[in-house]
C-alpha cells in the first residue's frame, strides 16, 4: 500500500469514516477488514469517545455511554478505506459487576490474540489522575499479547501546564518497565478552550503506526538512512 503524502494524510481524518462491525463476548471478530488497525482503550470516562470523535471531526461517531455493566463490545470503524479504528470497552468502573469484568477480560484476550492487523493500542489516561491500578492490569495483558502501546494523557485543559508536565514525566517513569510502551507520552484536549491540543499528534501517531505516513511529514529525521531509497511500505 503506498504511503500517504502530507496533504492526503490530513484529509484522511476528515473524510469518510463508517461503522463496520460490533463484536461482543462469545461472538466472532471480523476477518475481512484488510487494513492496518489501531485501537483505543482506557478507563470509563477517560474521554475515549470524545477523542475518537475529535480525531475524525465528528460529534457522534463513538457513542458516549456511562452505564456500567452494559453489554460491552469492540467497535470497528473503516477510515477512508485505509485503516481500521477500533473502540475497545472501558474498564475500572467501581460498580461494574463481576460478570462484566470477566466478560471484559475475555473480550480483551480474544481481541488481542486474534488481530494480526493490530499495529498499536492507544492507551488513554486522565491527565488529572495519572495511571491507575486498572491501567496496570491492562498493561500486563498488553505485555502478554506483545502489543505496542502509545500513551495519551486526555483532558489536558483540566490541568495547569506545570501539573501536566509533571503528570507526563510521572507517566513516562511509571511506563518505563513496560517494554511495549512507547517512550513519548502525548497529551490531548477535545475542548475548544484547549484548542484541540494534541489531536494532530495523535493523528500522526496513528498514521505512523499503520505505516501510512509520508517520510517528509515525520517529525524526526532518520539520519541512519544515508540517502538510500525510500523503504518499501509496510503491509
Ligand X SMILES: Nc1nc2c(ncn2[C@@H]2O[C@H](COP(=O)(O)OP(=O)(O)O)[C@@H](O)[C@H]2O)c(=O)[nH]1
Site residues (vs ligand X, CB under 6 A): 42, 44-50, 64, 90, 154-155, 157-158, 189-191, 194
Partner from Mg ion, ligand X, none contacting 37, C-beta within 5 to 8 A by type: none
Element (H, E) at 168: helix 161-175
Partner from ligand X, Mg ion, none contacting 45, C-beta within 5 to 8 A by type: ligand X
- Nearer of residues 47 and 198 to Mg ion, judged by Cβ: 47
| C-alpha of 222 from chain center | 25
Q: Does 22 bind Mg ion (CB under 5 A)?
A: no
Residue 9 φ then ψ, to 5°: -70, -30
Q: Does 49 bind Mg ion (CB under 5 A)?
A: yes
Q: How far is the CB of 213 from ligand X (least distance, A)?
A: 24
- Nearer of residues 44 and 143 to ligand X, judged by Cβ: 44
- Nearer of residues 93 and 203 to Mg ion, judged by Cβ: 93
Long-range CB contacts (within 8 A, 24+) of 213-222: 213/3, 213/4, 213/9, 214/3, 214/4, 214/5, 214/6, 214/8, 214/9, 215/3, 216/5, 216/6, 217/5, 217/6, 217/9
Q: How far is the CB of 179 from ligand X (least distance, A)?
A: 26
Partner from Mg ion, ligand X, none contacting 84, C-beta within 5 to 8 A by type: none
Q: How far is the CB of 63 from ligand X (least distance, A)?
A: 8
Partner from ligand X, Mg ion, none contacting 50, C-beta within 5 to 8 A by type: ligand X
- Nearer of residues 78 and 156 to ligand X, judged by Cβ: 156
Distance CA 151, CA 8 (A): 25
Residues in the chain: 235
Q: Does 64 bind Mg ion (CB under 5 A)?
A: yes
How many angstroms separate the Cα of 14 from the Cα of each of 18, 39, 107, 151?
Answer: 12, 18, 30, 23
How many angstroms separate the Cα of 226 from the Cα of each of 99, 113, 139, 219, 220?
Answer: 55, 37, 36, 17, 14
- Nearer of residues 47 and 151 to ligand X, judged by Cβ: 47
Q: Which residues bind Mg ion (CB under 5 A)?
A: 49, 64
Amino acid at each position: 500500500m503506498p504511503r500517504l503524502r502530507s496533504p492526503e494524510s490530513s484529509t484522511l481524518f476528515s473524510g469518510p469514516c463508517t461503522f463496520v462491525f460490533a463484536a461482543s463476548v462469545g461472538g466472532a471478530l471480523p476477518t475481512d477488514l484488510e487494513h492496518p488497525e489501531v485501537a483505543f482503550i482506557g478507563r470509563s470516562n477517560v474521554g475515549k469517545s470524545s477523542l475518537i470523535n475529535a480525531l475524525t471531526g465528528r460529534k457522534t461517531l463513538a457513542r458516549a455511554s456511562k452505564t456500567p455493566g452494559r453489554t460491552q463490545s469492540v467497535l470497528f470503524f473503516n477510515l477512508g478505506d485505509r485503516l481500521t479504528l477500533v473502540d475497545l470497552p472501558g474498564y475500572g468502573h467501581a460498580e461494574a459487576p463481576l460478570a462484566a469484568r470477566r466478560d471484559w477480560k475475555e473480550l480483551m484476550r480474544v481481541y488481542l490474540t486474534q488481530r494480526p492487523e493490530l499495529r498499536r493500542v492507544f492507551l488513554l489516561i486522565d491527565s488529572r489522575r495519572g495511571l491507575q491500578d486498572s491501567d496496570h492490569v491492562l498493561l500486563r495483558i498488553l505485555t502478554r499479547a506483545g502489543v505496542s502501546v502509545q500513551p495519551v494523557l486526555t483532558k489536558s485543559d483540566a490541568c495547569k501546564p506545570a501539573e501536566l508536565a509533571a503528570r507526563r514525566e510521572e507517566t513516562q517513569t511509571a511506563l518505563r518497565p513496560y517494554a511495549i510502551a512507547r517512550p513519548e507520552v502525548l497529551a490531548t484536549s477535545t475542548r475548544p478552550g484547549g484548542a484541540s491540543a494534541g489531536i494532530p499528534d495523535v493523528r500522526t501517531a496513528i498514521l505512523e503506526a499503520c505505516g501510512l505516513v509520508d517520510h517528509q511529514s515525520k517529525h524526526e529525521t532518520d539520519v541512519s538512512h544515508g540517502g538510500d531509497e525510500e523503504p518499501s511500505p509496510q503491509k
